[in-house]
A and B are shown apart, each in its own frame.
Chain A
Amino acid sequence: MIKSEIRSTVLNSLKRYDATAKSHPRVLDAECEFVLHQMIGEVFRMSPHSLQRYTKRYGYTVALAVSTEAPTGIYYTTLPENILVLPDKASGVRRVATPTQTSIKFYPMDQREWDLVAYGSYVNTVKDQIGYIVTPTRVEYYGMTGAVQTSGVRMDLLIPFSKYADTDVVLYPEHIIEEEGKSKGFIDRVVDRLLAKPQTVDLSDQNKDKEE
């Protein structure tokens, strides 16, 4: 489903409190965002390899640039979008690759590993392995090569619901939970959260789009 359809489905699943049955899209999106992140977390615990299926792809048409930070010499790519944060090293950056499909080169690592590996290890002498470290705003690289820097990279990211365009297909996890005798998937859980909120009955229809 595209994002606007999800929002519409949620809206039409809610009880109508006033003449316009209006719930602000931002409120709906916030609940969708919460549930999406929660369910992505559940997938991570159940089967982390499956997370790849819920990513949005970046750099496939035009490769993402690999830059060099002048004072430190660190190679990095600025994240093209905010990501969901997950507990493993890859976090919301589930895959980094070169624009042309080759053998795997990029592996997630953390800063601690970078420090240990660079200090002296066999890994430091083995070629064709590039480590990527996910930070809040950018992805930093260990072992970046000139050729890869020139070609740029592409990334598969897990992003928050709010960062999808209205026309983007949002691939939400399809697993369901059993709760109070009912099977609940993504939409049900969003609606449940909205129903659980106290809402003012707006008999004067002040919630309409514009003043008449």
Chain B
Amino acid sequence: MATNALISINEAVTRYMLKFKLPTEDAFIYTEHACDALRELHLYDLPNLVTTKIAVSALGIIEMPADLIGFNGLYVFVGGYKWKFTYNDNLITTTTITGGAETQDEDYGEGVAVKDPKTDTYGGVGGVNDYYYKIDWKARRIFVDGITSDTVVLEYVSSGIELTGTTYIPVMALPVIDSYLKWKESYWIPGQERYADMREKSYNNAVMKVRNFVEAMTYDEWRDLLLSLTTMAPLR
């Protein structure tokens, strides 16, 4: 058995201080920067989506999880597959307070089900959907159409920094953390400012390596792709 594929953020910091013979008195500064680096990785480079079941209220509203920093999709499961909600910019995202309680006023279109023009004859247009959503980032809420008082599946990007347990990072991202710390320390260690640009390039290179690895397809995936572009025909 080889070493673990995940290491804790603390371990990443202690390894960095070990490798570069650094004093431990800056451990907290390095930890804070390492968390920043991890958040950036989660947001832009790693495929670490969080998939969670989440409640839709009676008003068709989903309250965002506190750690959600990027939205990826809403789904219901149909026949073993994810059925994705469709973004609709025209959904009404206001509510009305009546007697201290949050309600919806149909006069303003609140909570009114979207009616797509449907036809099953020739000439009918596509784009008819059962479920829509619109995000109110300011209120950190997702308004949905087509489903209320139910549970759906939310895929999102988390900061990756755990509030209650140990924060882990994939070990393949360790060079990114190292180069990020090396870059950032240029700004607080006297005399190292002149290395900042060079170290930023090194960080970008490390990020690209991870991104290439994450985005790369396996042999089977390439083979399936090529085969899917071909059509079998009888050999005459």
Q: Which A positions have Cβ atoms within 8 angstroms of B?
A: 48-49, 88-90, 103-104, 107-109, 113, 117, 121-123, 125-129, 131
A107 near B28 with CB under 8 A, answer: yes
B25 near A128 with CB under 8 A, answer: no
Q: Which B positions have Cβ atoms within 8 angstroms of A?
A: 8-11, 14, 21, 23-25, 27-29, 31-32, 35-36, 39, 161-163, 165-167
A107 near B32 with CB under 8 A, answer: no
Residue of A nearest to B165 (CB): A127
A48 near B10 with CB under 8 A, answer: no
B27 near A127 with CB under 8 A, answer: no
**From B23, B28, B39, B165, contact of A113 by CB (8 A):** B28
Residue of B nearest to A125 (CB): B163
- B24: which A residues are within 8 A, CB to CB? 90, 104, 107-108
- A104: which B residues are within 8 A, CB to CB? 14, 24
Given contacts A103-B11, A123-B28, A129-B10, 16 further A-B pairs with CB under 8 A are: A103-B14, A104-B24, A107-B25, A107-B28, A108-B25, A109-B25, A113-B28, A113-B29, A121-B32, A122-B161, A123-B31, A125-B163, A125-B167, A126-B31, A127-B165, A129-B27
Closest Cβ of chain A to B202, distance in Å, is 23
Residue of A nearest to B32 (CB): A123
User: CA A103 – CA B12 in complex, angstroms?
Assistant: 13
Closest Cβ of chain A to B212, distance in Å, is 27
Closest Cβ of chain B to A32, distance in Å, is 28
* Consensus secondary structure, chain B interface: helix
A126 near B9 with CB under 8 A, answer: yes
A109 near B28 with CB under 8 A, answer: yes
Known A122-B161, A126-B9, A128-B10; contact A49-B21, beta-carbon cutoff 8 A = yes
Residue of B nearest to A114 (CB): B28
User: CA A49 – CA B23 in complex, angstroms?
Assistant: 7
- For this complex, 29 residue pairs linking A to B, each with C-beta atoms less than 8 Å apart, are A48-B23, A49-B23, A90-B25, A103-B10, A103-B11, A107-B24, A107-B25, A107-B27, A107-B28, A108-B25, A109-B25, A113-B29, A117-B32, A121-B32, A122-B31, A122-B35, A123-B32, A125-B163, A125-B167, A126-B9, A126-B35, A126-B167, A127-B165, A127-B166, A128-B8, A128-B10, A129-B10, A129-B28, A131-B28
Residue of A nearest to B159 (CB): A122
Closest 10 CB pairs of A and B: A122-B35, A107-B27, A89-B25, A108-B25, A123-B31, A107-B24, A123-B32, A123-B28, A122-B161, A125-B163
- B165: which A residues are within 8 A, CB to CB? 127
* Consensus secondary structure, chain A interface: loop
- A103: which B residues are within 8 A, CB to CB? 10-11, 14
User: CA A92 – CA B124 in complex, angstroms?
Assistant: 81
- B23: which A residues are within 8 A, CB to CB? 48-49, 88
A117 near B28 with CB under 8 A, answer: yes
User: CA A121 – CA B30 in complex, angstroms?
Assistant: 12
User: CA A90 – CA B23 in complex, angstroms?
Assistant: 10
User: CA A68 – CA B28 in complex, angstroms?
Assistant: 23
User: CA A163 – CA B59 in complex, angstroms?
Assistant: 73
Closest Cβ of chain B to A6, distance in Å, is 30
A122 near B36 with CB under 8 A, answer: yes
Closest Cβ of chain A to B89, distance in Å, is 34
- B32: which A residues are within 8 A, CB to CB? 117, 121-123
B35 near A123 with CB under 8 A, answer: yes
